[in-house]
Every structure is written in structure tokens, then in C-alpha cells.
Structure 1
Amino acid sequence: MQVRHAQIIPAENILKGVTPVIIAAFAYPLGNRKMMQLTNGRLNVYQRVLGMILCSMPFWFILNIYEIVVARSTPSVDQYLQTLVVAVFSGVLATILFFSATDKARADEKQLAAVEATQSTEVLFALIGEVVILGSALPDAYGVAGIALVMLGMTLHSLKS
């Protein structure tokens, strides 16, 4: 969906952005499953979200210190605003909805996989938020094709389940 931007950004910067996303795409559902397994239903959705936030805090502090000490830079006001929007909508609200859905599907591995596959639709919501809140341009033909692929994949997955 972001091919237009990828054409003007150096490959090294793309790798720096894509690598953490790929890691998170696996770590997020695995962390949730491990949390469900370890707590065995003793924690509710909100407690699990809080646990995931607290357990990830050391990583964010290390990343912040690295950026200040090694890269000698700090985020701009716009980056803080964008981070706040992502943290509230994706990090808190979407996670609560996602964890609630996985709670309901925890007994059925097939249903749980289907719920985890819905993560791909987060890209669509992020795109909508980017256009509405941040005033970004509407997607070009590549972006529309990417949206269609995500929707097709979700549709095919739901028909198979």
C-alpha cells in the first residue's frame, strides 16, 4: 500500500522500518498466546494488556536511550503526536478488542488463527486514520491494489474457516 513512498526512500531505511513490523507481526500474537497459556484464564483482557505493556517497557526505554545517546536525536512534535495516536488507537483500543476476541476463541485453534489473521485489517484502519487525522493523501493505484489484496485475503480466509 505504500509503494509510492518506497520508491523515494532508500532501501536501508525501508529495512529499518519493515524489520520491526515483521518481528511484531509474529511477536504480538505469540505474546498474547503465551500470556493466555501462562495465566490460564486468571487474568482478564485488561490485565493481560497491562501485562504486555509493562513487560515491553524495558525495550522501549532501551530504544529511547539508544536514540538519544547513539543517534543523538529526539523525535519531533509531529512524531510525538503520531506516536500518541498510534498508541491510543492501535496499542490500547485495538489490543483490547483483539485480546477479547482471542479470549472467546481460546478453546478452538482454528478460530484463534482466524482471529489472529484479522491483524492484517489494522493496516486499513491505520490508512484511514492517516488520511482523516493526519491529512495524508488518498492511496494511489498501488495502495488501492494493496487494500484489495488485504480484503481478498481476509475474505478467502473467512470462507475457508
Structure 2
Amino acid sequence: MFRLVWLGALAALFFSTTFVLNRSMSLSGGHWVWSASLRYAFMLPILLAWTLGTGGPRAVGRAFGLFAAHPVFWTVAGSVGFGVFYAGVTLASVFSPGWVVATTWQATILATPLVLALLGRAVPRKGLAFTALIFCGIVLVNLEQARNAPDVGSLLGIAAVLVAAVAYPLGNQLVWEARHGGGGRIPRIDQPALDAGRTPTLLLTIGSIPFWLVLVAVTRPPAPSPDQVLQTGLVALFSGVIATSIFLRARSRAKNAYELAATDATQSLEVVFSLLGETLLLAGPWPGPLGAAGIALAVTGLVLYVCRQV
């Protein structure tokens, strides 16, 4: 369990670059569609090179073979787990500061038990209690930051993050379900390659391509600036490749619903890392007593997840 939480926390560190850099690009006038779609355009060659370098041509062929065997599944999972998720996060950055997006995004820790229940998985009650404790901490952080910043973004931005908060665990859980037996319309994909982290990330990225092509065609955004391209490349590397691969690796090692919920709950640490990043790089305010109390509650919830195993 400790290793799962450690991997999740490390992933949260790299994930937090998303909120800081997306806000930076938004403030400089970059269109949110390019911030979203270019991330996955960069991720695809990086993941292919990584797979080729670590597993050789055979690993690349195996990955494409898995996609060819279940193209509908990977397109649906990729469009939901990567497409809807990241489009919502980047859209929100247009209306809200990075800390608002990061704190609202923590609704995903409550969405995870709902997704588990939707897919027929039992959710331990004490796991829900720890999740609620973490979420209460996030609410305290959000309340304090809202006091310090009169413009907390539009309802559209908040709604976009809430949709993303459901889409991300849903896409990830679809992959977990397929790897561990499938059922109903979810195919059974009994392949150890899916435990590596990079392989499901690559497959979900490929699966999301139709979503991004349609989004760009519909919105017709103006051409991105060189600075936006550079920052999007950094997000692709740190958050899209490194963080996602670590996180999916941690989830693949989870043996039951409790460990899955605990792993997903580590995303609460993104608030801490995002606050630090925005404070240091974008001159945001430091959290006060209420925010510190919220962070303490979130960390306490994570510690309880580790100490109270099922």
C-alpha cells in the first residue's frame, strides 16, 4: 500500500505542472484548444520513442496490436479519459486561476467511488470516510483562496473541471476493468504489457486522436505561438508522459477497490504542489491558517489510507 501511495504522490507532483503552465499560457493569450490538443500531439512521439527504446520494435508492435484488437474500446476510453478530461481542464484555465482549477479538480477523489460503483465494484466505507476527509481539506483550501481572490472564475470553468473530474477516473477504470477481466461491453485484455504504465498511456493517447481532430475542426483556433508550443511540450513530458505513466502503473498494482481509491486520492497533493508552483512562478499568495489546515486534513486522510488497510 505504501508503494502505491508513494507512486501516486510522485505522479501528483508532475501532474501539478498542468495547472501552473496552463494558467501561464492562458494569461499570455494562448488558445485553450491548442494547450489541450498539442499536449497529446507531443505525447505520441515521446511515448513511441520510449516504448521503442525500452522494449524494442516488438513492444511497439505489441502496443499497436492491442489497439487493433480493440479499436472501439481504446477510442472510447481515450476520448473520455484523455480527451474530455483534458479539454475540461484547459478550458477552465481560461476562466480561473490555477489554484481554482487544481482545488476544484479534487472532486475527482469523490468521483472515483462513484465510478467504481457504476462499474459494479464494491467501495469500502472507511475508504469513503478517508476520501471525504481529504475533500474537506480541499474545500478549506478553496475557501481561503476564494477570500483572497475576488474573481474565482465563471461557472463554466467550474463545470468544465467537474466534468473532467469524472471523465479521468472513468477512463482509467475502464482500462483497469479490461486488464482484470472485463465484463459486459468491456473486453478482456489479459496482457501484462498493460501493467507497465507506458503502454496504456500510449494506447489511450492513440485512442484520443479522433477527439482532438474533431475538437480542432469545430473550434478552428488561431495558430499557437512558439511560447505556447514550448510550454505545451513541457506539460506533455512532465504531466502527460511521466505523471500519467507513473499513475497508471500504480493503479495497475492495486489489488482491490480500496487500494484503487487510495491511489486516486493521492491526487489531492496536486493542490499543495500547484499552490507552491503558482506562488513561486506566478506570484500567487501563500496559503494562510485556513489553507494550512486544509492541507493538513488532506495529508491526514492519505496517512489513514496507508495505516488502515483492508
Same fold (TM over 0.5): yes
> Deviation of residue 115 (structure 1)?
0.9
Q: Distance in 2 between matches of 1:79 and 1:54?
A: 22
Change (3 A) 1:129 1:64: farther
Q: How does 1:44-55 map to 2 (within 5 A)?
A: 44=194, 45-55=197-207
Q: Secondary structure at the match of 2:176?
A: helix
1:3 aligns with 2:3: no
Contact 1:101 1:115 in 2 (8 A): yes
Q: Distance in 1 between matches of 2:235 and 2:150?
A: 24
> Deviation of residue 118 (structure 1)?
1.2
Structure with larger Rg? 2
Query: Once superposed, which parts of structure 1, at least 4 consecutive aligned residues long, lie more than 4 Å away?
Result: 73-82
- How many percent identity over aligned positions? 39
Q: Distance in 2 between matches of 1:6 and 1:78?
A: 27
Alignment equivalent of 2:249, drawn from 100, 122, 129 = 100
1:111 aligns with 2:259: yes
Structure 2, unaligned runs of 5 or more? 1-140, 179-188
Contact 2:201 2:244 in 1 (8 A): yes
Alignment equivalent of 2:170, drawn from 13, 30, 42 = 30
1:88 aligns with 2:237: yes
Q: Secondary structure at the match of 1:43?
A: helix
> Deviation of residue 33 (structure 1)?
2.0
Q: CA RMSD in A?
A: 3.0
Q: Distance in 2 between matches of 1:4 and 1:86?
A: 29
Alignment equivalent of 2:284, drawn from 120, 126, 137 = 137
Q: Distance in 2 between matches of 1:6 and 1:67?
A: 30
Q: Secondary structure at the match of 1:40?
A: coil
The count of corresponding residues between Structure 1 and Structure 2 is: 153
Q: Secondary structure at the match of 1:112?
A: helix
Higher relative contact order (CA 8 A, sep 6+): 2
Q: Distance in 1 between matches of 2:148 and 2:237?
A: 25
- Residue by residue over 1:23-53, the C-alpha shift from the partner in whole angstroms, topping out at 9 and shown as x without a partner, is 2222222212211332233433211001112
Structure 1, unaligned runs of 5 or more? none
Q: Which residue of 2 aligns with 1:148?
A: 296
Q: Distance in 2 between matches of 1:76 and 1:123?
A: 28
Contact 1:131 1:138 in 2 (8 A): yes
Contact 2:146 2:152 in 1 (8 A): no
Q: Distance in 2 between matches of 1:85 and 1:6?
A: 28
TM superposition score normalised by structure 1: 0.71
